[in-house]
Structure 1
Amino acid sequence: MPVPAPDFVQLFAPGTSHDFPDAEVSLLVRVLPGVPLSLPSGRVVAMEPAYFGEDDPAELAFTEQVRPGTYPVVLIMVDMIGPDGEDQGNTRVAGARLEIRDEPVATWELAVTPGDDLDDLEDDELFGYPVDSGTGCFVDARTVEALGEDEDFAEEVLSARFDRDPRIPATDPITMSVGDDDHALVAFSTGWGDGSYSTWIGRTAGGDVACFLTDFEVLPEEDDE
């Protein structure tokens, strides 16, 4: 069975400060305003944009589907703060949350794709998507299908992330258009960089999907030594 979900509600609460292991700095949480993402089919994909065209979109999408529509993607940021309260100028994306319902999350469960079997996981394992360009995204499976094997689009996403005006924080989300859809993909920096990152489904007390949240493992769980 997978590792239990962290208490994301507490971990990512805006204004919360967390000690940074082995350093005289703290990590201060803040949340950016949401940016819209189109989900024309309601089949959510979380992935590294550089891998477009390498896998079947139906196998990339999470098994949990939502009503088609446009939903906000919210980035949870952390700023490094020195012992005297000064901003160290080092900001990271700790998590990316695709908000489906504006309701409190009561429970969390690991989001899985059709090829994932929770019984295959060891106690310390999680399913997640690989990243080797420091970039992740949320996108609809239908959009991935439309792109096909368009390697140029993957390059466009990465260029938009890394070739921006230096006055604009690199941690801001990037919205990409596909065809007539101006909100087809939202891309963002992934925490400290490369790795494998899991996405969780937050459910309301009534069992409805409230959000999909990708954790970039920037923050330690409370009291985690």
Structure 2
Amino acid sequence: MEWIGDARPAAGPEATWYLETAFTPGEHLGTVYDDPTTPVVVTGIEEVTAIRIPSGRLVVDAPWHDDETLAYERGLPTSPPRELAVRIPPGTYRVEIAWTAGPYEFFGEHFDGVACAATRLCVSDEPVVGWEMGLGVDDDIDRLQPGERIRFSSDANVGCFADAGAWTALTAPFRGYVDGRPVPRDSEQLPGRCERVTDESRQADLVTFTAESGGVVWLGRTKTGEVAAIVVTSGMPGAKA
């Protein structure tokens, strides 16, 4: 039986085009800001690392929020992370970044305009036939407004994929402060300014990625409705905060 998605979280034509184009090297994702003659080109897809999600429960959120740092230092409760309502099979998955380039000039200086167009967690290699917004466990689909896009926020323009069952341990390195300043983290440095934190006691990981002010989570569904990809976008055309 083929999957028939719910129209409320479904990606519209513009979002669908972006999600499919962002991971197609050589395609154009519009033009450089204030320069309609220079295209923004998808230059490649980079495999950043693999991530272990043994619980099958996935968090897609900022690894920390500035307004929670003081509470954490004092041992007070912090708000729960944005865990996705959808479950994926426990396992190890690829994390990939779609890179674009749009050269531009600013005050006489030339820049290559390399940027992250989207970040993808590859759940399977099955073809995606439709996209929908990835709702969190606390999101109410019945309250969605037409065209609304729910996004997680990020004070430092950083998002992450992480196993929900190991969230507290995986995010502890991001919460270390001395005299109000962050201390160096015990994390693995990855391409694209990403980081990987591991919790070997649970065989679980957290992987960070660039997310301008946060991002919108999208689920790529197969013809049977299974999730094949989970993609985060930050600045796609027409996104609403």
TM-score, normalization by structure 2: 0.72
- Structure 1 residue 77 displacement after superposition: 1.4
Residues 28 and 50 from structure 1, CA distance in 2 versus in 1: closer, same or farther, beyond 3 angstroms?
same
Q: After superposing the two structures, state which structure 1 stretch, 26-35 or 133-142, moved more.
A: 26-35
Where does residue 3 of structure 2 map in the other structure? Answer: none
**What is the CA-CA distance between 1:145 and the residue it aligns to?**
4.0
RMSD value, Cα: 3.1
Contact 1:135–1:158 (CA under 8 A) maintained in structure 2: no
Could you tell me how far apart the structure 2 residues matched to 1:3 and 1:42 are? 23
Query: What is the DSSP-based 3-state SS (H/G/I as helix, E as strand, rest coil) of the residue aligned with 2:139?
Result: coil
Q: Tell me if 1:70 matches 2:92.
A: yes
Unmatched 5+ stretches in structure 1:
none
Shift of 1:90: 2.5
Aligned to 2:205: 184
Deviation at 1:124, TM superposition (A): 3.4
How far 1:78 moved relative to its partner? 1.2
Q: Secondary structure at the match of 2:120?
A: strand
- CA–CA separation in structure 2 for the residues paired with 1:78 and 1:220: 15
Unaligned runs of 5+ in 2: 1-7, 73-77
Q: 1:95 to 1:181 in 2, by over 3 A?
A: farther
Query: Are the equivalent residues in 1 in contact too, given 2:133–2:217 (CA < 8 A)?
Result: yes
User: Which among 9, 28, 38 is matched to residue 41 of structure 2?
Assistant: 28
Match of 1:174 in 2: 195
| Equivalent pair of 1:105/1:203 in contact (CA under 8 Å) | yes
Aligned to 1:49: 63
Residue correspondences, number: 204
Hey, what does 1:106 align to over in structure 2? 129
| TM-aligned CA deviation for residue 104 of structure 1 | 1.3
Q: 1:96 aligns with which of 99, 119, 123?
A: 119
Query: Structure 1 length as normaliser, TM-score?
Result: 0.77
Q: Is the 8 A contact 1:36 1:183 kept in 2?
A: no
If you compute each CA radius of gyration, which structure gives the higher value, 1 or 2? 2
Which is richer in strand? 2
Residue 197 of structure 1 deviates from its aligned partner by 1.5
| Whole-angstrom distance in 2 between the partners of 1:90 and 1:106 | 31
Does the C-alpha gap of structure 1 residues 197 and 109 become closer, same or farther in structure 2, counting only changes over 3 Å? same
Shift, 1:208, TM fit: 1.1
Identity of aligned residues (%): 26
1:208 aligns with 2:226: yes
How many angstroms does 1:183 deviate by?
6.2
Deviations 1:74-133 (A, max 9, x none): 1111112359xxx83232111111100012110111111121112322223211100110
Question: Structure 1 residue 49: deviation in Å?
Answer: 1.0
- Structure 2 residue identity aligned to 1:71: Y
Match of 1:135 among 158, 169, 192: 158
Q: Confirm or deny: 8 A CA contact 1:3 1:123 kept in the other structure.
A: no
Alignment of 1:79-94 (within 5 A): 79-81=101-103, 88-94=111-117
DSSP 3-state at the match of 1:49? coil
4+ aligned runs moved over 4 Å, structure 1 = 155-160, 180-183
